Amino acid sequence: MLQVITRVPAKINPVLSVGPARRDGYHDLATVFHAVSLYDEVRARAGDDLTVTMSGPYAGGVPSDATNLATRAARALAKRAGVPAKARVDVHKAIPVAAGLAGGSADAAGVLRACDALWELGASDTELATVAATLGSDVPFALAGGTAVGTGRGERLRGITVGTTLHWVLAVASRGLSTPDVYRRLDELRSGVSVPEPAVGEAILTALAGGDPGAVAASLRNDMQEAAVALRPELADTLRAGREAGALGGIVSGSGPTCAFLARDGEHSGELAARLDASGTCAQVLQVTGPARTGD
Ligand code: ATP
């Protein structure tokens, strides 16, 4: 095969429920993953060894050494399949880095799909998901796309139906936030507090299935939001600006700092985006829709 191209979407979490810190420092999650129409594109071609290059607006913020998740994904798949890791991979990065949008996980998932095709492995979705889970807890969802409830560390997935196309406006910050830092701050904020096991309530699932943006907006919840705002107080201004601009609801995406605002429809999304842009509370405003699919 000469060249394989695959597109992988960013994700937001309409619900992110975080359980208590476990002995190993990790947290169990119960979350709704929702892929949105902001894509990194992975191209894989035959090569004599493995090279990974990054291009596009957000290429600069990504490590170019072996820690790059795209490189790790290619090596992990080759090892699992018992083939040499030979490919020329280019990732066009349109997903902001360290933004709470799981862009690195998207790249890893794209490389798994592209190299599976390039190397003609014919791996099943389950096999690819097994490799994905070794790379990061958001990678299995990035492989699947759509909308899903995630449990465990986010790697146990159950796909769910959304009864409509949802229109979101993303407010992107000028610099990223480190996910481990946000978890640390969350643990500090919770010190001495008894934290329940994580759960996704019925309300959001009913709202998504019914395709009612107002009901989805009323069910948005992110346990990491307070910690992200504590680390980046200006996010409170962004969230307020979104509300004042008429969003049905708004939330920090994952560990932040991107904020996601829900609009009624495409027209409302355009109005909301213009107002948010004019508020000067974020570096970039993007209009996206969800659920988005991987590989389109
Ligand atoms: P997380 O998935 O940890 O919640 P995030 O969604 O906020 O993180 P990502 O864009 O996935 O943010 O990046 C997290 C970190 O992973 C970055 O700080 C970066 O150094 C590292 N990284 C490694 N490879 C990649 C990649 N291909 N794209 C983006 N980041 C990468």
The residues lining ligand 1, judged by C-beta closer than 6 Å to any ligand atom, are 62-63, 67-70, 97-105, 107, 138, 179, 254-255
Tell whether 129 and 174 lie within a shared domain. Answer: no
Task: For residues 146 and 171, state if they share a domain.
Answer: no
129 labelled ligand-binding: no
Residue 1: pLDDT band with limits 50, 70, 90: low
Q: Model confidence over 67-92: pLDDT tens digits?
A: 999 999 999 999 999 999 999 999 99
Burial of 197: CB neighbours in 10 Å, binned 0-12, 13-18, 19+: exposed
**Local confidence band at 105 (pLDDT 50, 70, 90 cut-offs):** very high
Closest ligand 1 atom, CA of 68? 24
Q: Are residues 123 and 78 in the same domain?
A: yes
Would residue 296 count as lying in a domain?
Answer: no
Cα of 221 vs centre of ligand 1, distance in Å, is 22
pLDDT band (50, 70, 90) for residue 22: confident
Per-residue model confidence as pLDDT tens digits over 109-119: 999 999 999 99
Structure-token pair, residue 190: 């919770």
Q: Are residues 15 and 110 in the same domain?
A: yes
| Domain end (from 142, 159, 176) | 159
Structural domain including 269 reads 166-290
- Choose the final residue of a domain: 159, 191, 213: 159
Among 159, 181, 203, the domain boundary falls at 159
Instruction: Specify whether 137 is located in the same domain as 14.
Output: yes
pLDDT for position 64:
82
Kindly tell me if the per-residue pLDDT of 106 is higher than 80.
Answer: yes
Q: Is 96 annotated as a binding residue?
A: yes
What confidence category does residue 296 fall into, taking pLDDT thresholds of 50, 70 and 90?
A: low
Residue 66 known to bind ligand: no
Going by alpha carbons, the residue nearest to atom 25 of ligand 1 is: 104
Scored b (16 or more CB within 10 A) or e, 121-137 reads bebeeebbbebbbebbb
Number of domains in the chain: 2
Task: For residue 142, give the nearest of 105, 94, 104, 95 by alpha carbon.
Answer: 105
> Is residue 25's pLDDT more than 90?
no
pLDDT in tens, 187-209: 999 999 999 999 999 999 999 99
In CATH, what number is assigned to the domain containing residue 222? 3.30.70.890
**One domain for residues 154 and 190:** no
Residue 295 maps to a domain: no
Residue 295: per-residue pLDDT: 83
CA-nearest residue for atom 14, ligand 1, is 98
Same domain, residue pair 194 and 227: yes
